[in-house]
Amino acid sequence: MKNIADQRLNLPAHAPVMVLPGAALFPHSLLPLYIFEPRYRAMLAWSLEQQRMFCIAPMKPGISEVRTADDFHHTVGLGLVRACVGREDGTSHLMLQGLARVRLTGFVQDTPFRIAEIRELRSTPAEPLEGELLAAKLLEICAQLRARGVGVPEVLDKQLAQIEDAAVLSDLVAHTFLREAQHRQDVFEELRAGERLRLLIRHLTAEML
């Protein structure tokens, strides 16, 4: 499989930010969303007129309502609107594809929705042998999860076994299998692919207990 992690992305200098509880938009993953709040309806309309991109920022632990930028994580996922279906009542169903990890470095707008300056965070590749061994262990855990009844789409199941890049594999497995919000954010923020695999293995093992 082609190493898509090495492809250079033409990312914007700034993008809107949607804050959600417990959400992490991993690169290469797909996230279905229902947009109904007025501010996010305005955000979506702006995004569709621009580059069809916005960020998903998870709330920090213990936060139930976002009041300031300190209430959500600033290492977040930037996504591309792949499909969007608007409804007569102004709400929309859409599919967001994760493109990259980015860091929110400042805000150029707070209302009616936030727009942040962003900087791409690129992963450091794992050593080849290290990556192979950790990937094999990770796939073993995925097999155990499936044996326990965790459903995985057949297409994705086949893809996981074919992915050669450790960073891509860790992102897809984290998106598919991790349940705990803080576990997802821990894995998301780790930029070293080898360490990300180790952390993911540790969290998945803990969640199976």
Contacts of 37 (CB under 8 A, 6+ apart): none
Looking at the DSSP assignment, which residues form a beta bridge with residue 123? none
The pLDDT profile of the chain, 209 residues, written as one tens digit per residue, is: 334 444 556 899 999 999 999 889 999 999 999 999 999 999 999 999 999 999 999 999 999 899 999 999 999 999 999 999 999 999 999 999 999 999 999 999 999 999 999 999 999 999 989 989 999 999 888 888 878 877 666 656 677 777 888 889 899 999 988 999 999 999 999 999 999 999 999 999 998 87
Contacts of 118 (CB under 8 A, 6+ apart): 11, 12, 13, 14, 15, 55, 78, 102, 103, 104, 105
Could you report how far apart the first and last alpha carbons of the chain are, in Å?
A: 33
What tokens appear for 165 in the block?
């890049």
Fold of 4-121: 2.30.130
Tokens 């984290």 — which residue?
174
Distance CA 123, CA 188 (A): 10
Which helix (H) or strand (E) segment holds residue 141: the answer is: helix 128-147
Domain boundaries along the sequence of the chain: 4-121, 128-208
Helix axes of 193-208 and 181-189: crossing angle, nearest 10 degrees: 170
Distance CA 84, CA 62 (A): 32
